[in-house]
Amino acid sequence: MTEIIDGNAVAQDIRDELTDSIETLADDGARPGLATVLMGDDPASQTYVNMKQRDCEEVGIESHHVDVDGDAPPQVLFDTIADLNDDPEIHGYIVQAPVPDHVDYRDVIRRVDPTKDVDGFHPENVGRLVAGDARFRPCTPHGVQKLLESIDVDTEGKDVTIVGRSDIVGKPLANLLLQKADDGNATVTVCHSRTNDLGAKTRNADIVVAAVGVPELVDGSMLTAGTVVIDVGVNRVDADTDKGYELVGDVEFESAKEKASAITPVPGGVGPMTRAMLLYNTVKAASMQEDVAVDL
Ligand code: NDP
């Protein structure tokens, strides 16, 4: 019987645990504050930002939001970042991607105070993660680790194939699973668009993580019976629904479910975990900046 991993339930457990830590911080006069910055008016980004604000309210994190005109020169965004770096009420913030084409996202990330970089994208934080001394684990990879933990999958000695080598999912997840640590110690294969015979790599894995952005790329024929399948992908495909589309993952759920021992659905798998781990990083940032110890 295949286990369908309920990301909403695991994320709720994490939010419940965080609520206690947030109360501890607030008792010390240190309520965590998270800011979101949105440059432009991309509707999907707007939705993500709204969801993050709702999550903050639920757990007791002060949420702040800054809109930056999509046509403004980059310096306007950089000034916003400088203000947030200086604001003691903001313990962490994110600049929602994508930013408009005339702004270099890497230039944005480099300006974020690394101690407030709750996305974990600043080069200093990337370096620390690779060195096995992560300050903030990037939210999606950390969420994937928590999902594996939730179903008691021990990654030690396992063959993990990650499809996708992006800076926000594939690479940091590969680094985390490779660490000499209780939630690492895996043997990791990272695939990408130039990989030869992708199916051979996924069939050889105990755990497959798909983070590609190609609808239903990984199907049951590419899996060995008993594989744990984590689908990070979120893709809009045309469908006969009220909205005119539906969301599908990078895994063809029905055929993969026939082979997998456990699998995440889309939606309701990794997505809620990414949001929960952003709250986690915000609490961690507040704890470090305010020098108040909390259980994390
Ligand atoms: P990117 O576009 O940054 O990276 C995609 C990766 O997939 C690249 O490494 C690319 O290879 C590889 N790839 C593309 N096509 C193929 C192929 N045919 N075979 C093998 N590899 C391929 O994507 P992201 O990592 O940002 O996102 C991936 C997916 O995850 C998207 O659907 C995104 O929406 C979703 N996502 C979901 C999140 C969540 O919270 N649920 C959070 C973040 C992302 P190459 O490097 O060679 O180009």
Half-sphere exposure of 83 (CA within 13 A, CB side): 12
CATH number for the domain spanning 35: value is 3.40.50.10860
What is the pairing mode between strands 33-39 and 62-68?
parallel
Would residue 237 count as lying in a domain? yes
Would residue 66 count as lying in a domain? yes
Q: Is 7 assigned to a binding site?
A: no
Judgement on whether residues 89 and 149 belong to the same structural domain of the protein: no
Beta bridge partners of 35: 64, 93
Position in ligand 1 atom list of the atom nearest CA 194: 47
Judgement on whether residues 111 and 168 belong to the same structural domain of the protein: no
Judgement on whether residues 249 and 166 belong to the same structural domain of the protein: yes
Residues 6 or more apart whose CB falls under 8 angstroms from that of 278 comprise 34, 52, 55, 94, 118, 119, 139
Q: How far apart are CA 262 and CA 229, in angstroms?
A: 6
Judgement on whether residues 152 and 110 belong to the same structural domain of the protein: no
In tens, the pLDDT along 149-166 reads 999 999 999 999 999 999
Q: Is 60 assigned to a binding site?
A: no
CA 295 – ligand 1 centroid, Å: 33
The neighbour count for residue 83, using CB atoms within 10 Å, is 12
Q: At what angle do helices 7-27 and 270-290 cross, to 10 degrees?
A: 10
In tens, the pLDDT along 15-40 reads 999 999 999 999 999 999 999 999 99
Would residue 4 count as lying in a domain? no
pLDDT at 122: 98
Mutate to test the pocket of ligand 1, among 140, 232, 235 (most ligand atoms within 8 A of CB): 232
Structure tokens at 238: 């045309």
Residues at CB less than 6 angstroms from ligand 1: 140, 163-166, 168-170, 191-195, 198, 211-214, 217, 232-235, 270-271, 274
Q: Which amino acid is at 74?
A: P
Would residue 293 count as lying in a domain? no
Structure tokens at 134: 């992560």
In tens, the pLDDT along 264-287 reads 999 999 999 999 999 999 999 999
Would residue 16 count as lying in a domain? no
What is the pairing mode between strands 207-210 and 187-191?
unpaired
Which domain-ending residue is among 49, 82, 115?
A: 115
Judgement on whether residues 234 and 267 belong to the same structural domain of the protein: yes
**How far does CA 207 lie from the centroid of its chain?**
18
Judgement on whether residues 111 and 145 belong to the same structural domain of the protein: no
In tens, the pLDDT along 111-155 reads 999 999 999 999 999 999 999 999 999 999 999 999 999 999 999
Give the chain's domain count: 2
Structure tokens at 116: 């407030």
Judgement on whether residues 154 and 262 belong to the same structural domain of the protein: yes
Judgement on whether residues 262 and 178 belong to the same structural domain of the protein: yes
Q: How far apart are CA 212 and CA 165, in angstroms?
A: 8
Judgement on whether residues 104 and 212 belong to the same structural domain of the protein: no
CATH number for the domain spanning 257: value is 3.40.50.720
Judgement on whether residues 265 and 159 belong to the same structural domain of the protein: yes
pLDDT at 209: 99
Q: Is 70 assigned to a binding site?
A: no
pLDDT at 142: 98
Domain of 195 in residue numbering reads as 139-271
What is the pLDDT confidence band of residue 63, given thresholds at 50, 70 and 90?
A: very high
Cis peptide upstream of residue 100 (ω within 30 degrees of 0)? no
Q: DSSP character for 190?
A: E
pLDDT at 5: 98
Would residue 22 count as lying in a domain? no
pLDDT at 284: 98
Would residue 231 count as lying in a domain? yes
Q: Is 165 assigned to a binding site?
A: yes
In tens, the pLDDT along 222-271 reads 999 999 999 999 999 999 999 999 999 999 999 999 999 999 999 999 99
The residue assigned the tokens 């770096």 is 85
Q: How far apart are CA 47 and CA 61, in angstroms?
A: 19
Position in ligand 1 atom list of the atom nearest CA 235: 32
Residue nearest to atom 36 of ligand 1 (CA): 233
pLDDT at 103: 98
119 is catalytic: yes
Would residue 129 count as lying in a domain? no
Among 22, 70, 62, smallest CA distance to 45 is for 70
CA 89 – ligand 1 centroid, Å: 34
Judgement on whether residues 257 and 149 belong to the same structural domain of the protein: yes
Judgement on whether residues 165 and 248 belong to the same structural domain of the protein: yes
52 is catalytic: yes
Residues 6 or more apart whose CB falls under 8 angstroms from that of 226 comprise 206, 259, 260, 261
Which domain-ending residue is among 99, 115, 131?
A: 115
Instruction: Please report, rounded to a whole number, the percentage of residues in the chain having pLDDT higher than 70.
Output: 100
pLDDT at 95: 98
Q: Average pLDDT in the 84-100 region?
A: 98
Per the CB < 8 A criterion, the answer to whether 81 and 110 are in contact is no
CA 213 – ligand 1 centroid, Å: 4
CA 251 – ligand 1 centroid, Å: 12
